[in-house]
Amino acid sequence: MKPEINKSMIYDRQLRLWGDQGQNSLETANICLLNATVSGTESLKNLILPGIGKFTIVDDKKVTGSDVGSNFFLTIDQIGQSRAKCVTELLKNLNEFVEADYLEKDPVFLINENDKFFSQFNVIIASNMQEKELIKLNKICSNENIILVSLKTNGLFGILRSYVPEHTIIDAHPENVTDYRLDRPFQGLIDYCKSFDFSEMTIVEHSHMPFIVILYQCLEEFKSKHDGKMPSSYSERNELKEIIKSLRLNNDEENFDEAEKSIFKACKPTIIPSQLKEMFCDIKCSNINENSSNFWIIINAFADFAERHNCLPHSGIIPDMKSDTEKYVELQNIYRKKFQEDFYEIRQKVNTTLAQINRPIESIKDEQIITMIKNGSDLRIIRYRTLEDEFINQPNVSLIAQSLNEEFNNMVYYLLFRAVDHFYETHYRYPGVDNDSLDNDLELLKKSVEVITSQYSIDYSLIPEEAMQEIVRAGMSEIHTVSSLVGALVSQEILKLVTCQYTPMNNTCIFNGIQTTTTSYDL
């Protein structure tokens, strides 16, 4: 059998989550893992299985006994061999469609001496890297538009941090979409709703007309009594409810139940969400040029549309409702027609823009525009803070201080991860790696904690002694379950970032294995 034959069968269960567009993005992802730690290996495993394009492991270490003890993919007979090579060969077997490569080099050396190396990738997973190198790596990623996720685990604790220069969410998979446009009905909808005459109906017809018709007609009645205005307060919505109730023939009419339940949604004015307004004002939206991404070209067309219609294009989607089939299909077609008209306008504008910047029309597919129209009010861009801002230029002191005052907070461990990095920079080793110097290391770690807390002008005593003991006791070792869990959290984020679907974390997450909790912070 040829390889392409089975792909959609193998990937069936995930295609239902992110569709062909998501799968295509995934299959073009070229991912680099720095250091084949357990958490790094596990996160790669979870990305190889669903079929990324290619991965490369950069690691200059040799397999040790403790690697074998915590990394599922390594065996005793590999001790002493190249860790990059061994892990790559074993991971490669998980999916024949994924290209694999490795490089026996120290990632720190590459970051300092050969930053061009990284431009071939679009995702970098940096495992157990120090702050100093991460800041440099972050700069490379920022220039080359690369997704960077760093992670560390230490005993029962883990931390991950995402950075993307500019992340666009094209499909947030909102749980329910409601855009009836009843506050500003378009002609097709008006004609359809007016074609129903309540007084001429049989009982069966009355209980089978779509609730949107009921709402439309009741709103008309309401507006005629309120200078053409929509209900905007609780009491006014109640008044509308009474109008609906008065038209019921009996209590069993489910379509009237649906109408009553939809009052709030139907009365919400059709607006352009603030995050889209912000995007419309963004320089990347107004200044479309040869380097503009498809996303911004489409957003530019949305802005143009919004200027003319003061709303977003309609998605064409309406929910299921109690209705006879024919009437429902008719109503569906009315909204679909509206969507098609709106789509046509957007497509025209996109085509004009593409012509202006000398790009072929096919470079933006209909599907991409349709996806963005369907997700109109949920489109987002996230610009992540850089690690340099987090650590040096503009630390988020208020959030840190505030979080530390909460009971059972995980901010303590964020500061401890930073303190461990400081310890390493000072002593060229991790605290607790040598069983004979645990007490001494605890004292040294306290000094590092003091340095870190003083950077934020935070009271040192907010870091409990037991937490520091825990860190020293773990000795920066990886235990499999924690590393596997944190690695999986990393791959989960990378899936969201690469497919531009669902809402990714922004920007730091701490895992606490004593309480089995996670906390996300925008640091």
Contact call for residue 100 and another protein (CB under 8 A): no
Near another protein by CB under 8 A: residue from 306, 321, 462, 479? 479
Least separation, in Å, of the C-beta of 5 and another protein? 6
Q: Which stretch binds another protein (CB under 8 A): 108-116, 190-198, 267-275, 472-480?
A: 472-480
Cis peptide leading into 300, omega within 30 of 0? no
Contact 380, 502 (CB under 8 A): no
Nearer to another protein, 122 or 506 (CB): 506
Specify the 3-state DSSP secondary structure of 335: helix
Q: Which stretch binds another protein (CB under 8 A): 128-136, 287-295, 347-355, 481-489?
A: 481-489
For another protein, the closer of residues 223 and 322 by Cβ is 322
Site string for another protein, 211-240 (x = CB under 8 A): ------------------------------
9 binds another protein (CB under 8 A): yes
CB of 22 to another protein, least distance (A): 11
Least distance in angstroms from the C-beta of 300 to another protein: 28
In a 13 Å sphere around the CA of 415, the CA atoms on its Cβ side amount to 34
Which residue, 56 or 323, is less far from another protein as judged by CB? 323
Give the burial string for 350-364 (b: 16+ CB within 10 Å, else e).
beebbeeeeeeeeeb
Q: Based on the shown chain and the rule CB under 8 A, indicate whether residue 324 belongs to the binding site for another protein.
A: yes
3-class SS string, 384-429: CCCHHHHHHHCCCHHHHHHHHCCCCCCHHHHHHHHHHHHHHHHHCC
In angstroms, rounded to a whole number, what is the distance separating the alpha carbons of residues 214 and 194?
10
Which 127-156 positions form the footprint of another protein (CB under 8 A)?
A: 155-156
Q: How far apart are CA 28 and CA 339, in angstroms?
A: 31
Residue 81 to residue 90: CA distance in whole angstroms = 13
| 164-188 burial: b if 16+ Cβ within 10 Å, else e | bbebbbbbbeeeeeebbebbebbeb
CB of 141 to another protein, least distance (A): 20
Distance between CA atoms of residues 40 and 45, nearest Å: 9
* Residue 467 CB partners (closer than 8 Å, separation 6+): 412, 413, 416
CB of 154 to another protein, least distance (A): 10
455-492 burial: b if 16+ Cβ within 10 Å, else e: bbebeeebbeeebbebbbbbbbbbbeebbbbbbebbbb
Nearest CB to another protein, comparing residues 205 and 443: 205
| Closest distance of CB 69 from another protein, Å | 3
Among 187, 199, 202, 233, binds another protein (CB under 8 A): 202
Binding to another protein, residues 336-395 (CB under 8 A): none
**Residue 177 in the binding site for another protein (CB under 8 A):** no
* Residues 46-75 interacting with another protein (rule: CB under 8 A): 46, 49-51, 65-66, 68-70, 72-75
Q: How far is the CB of 50 from another protein (least distance, A)?
A: 6
Distance, in Å, from the CA atom of 244 to the CA atom of 444, rounded to the nearest integer, reads 73
Min separation Cβ 233 and another protein, Å: 31
- Cβ proximity to another protein: between 303 and 472 the closer is 472
81 forms part of the interface with another protein (CB under 8 A): no
Closer residue to another protein in complex, CB, 125/135? 125
- Binding marks (x or -) toward another protein, 484..523, rule CB under 8 A? xx-xxx-xxx-xx-----xxxxx--x---x-xxxx-x---
- Cα separation, 253 vs 216, whole angstroms: 17
Name which position in 32, 131, 478, 499 contacts another protein (CB under 8 A): 478
Instruction: State the minimum distance, in angstroms, from the CB of residue 514 to another protein.
Output: 9
Q: Which of 85, 167, 208, 385 binds another protein (CB under 8 A)?
A: 208
Measured between alpha carbons, how far is 471 from 416 in angstroms, rounded to an integer?
Answer: 8
Q: How far is CA 36 from the centre of its chain?
A: 25
**Nearest Cα to 412, choosing from 266, 515, 483?**
515
Contact pattern for another protein over residues 283 through 322, marking x by CB under 8 A: -------------------------------------x--
φ/ψ (deg, to 5) at 54: -150, 150
Least distance in angstroms from the C-beta of 379 to another protein: 17
* Angstrom distance (rounded) from CA 342 to CA 362: 19
Residues binding another protein: what is the number (CB under 8 A)? Answer: 80
- Does 42 bind another protein (CB under 8 A)? Our answer is yes
Q: Is 482 in the site for another protein (CB under 8 A)?
A: yes
**CA 424, 428, 431: angle at the middle one, nearest 5?**
50
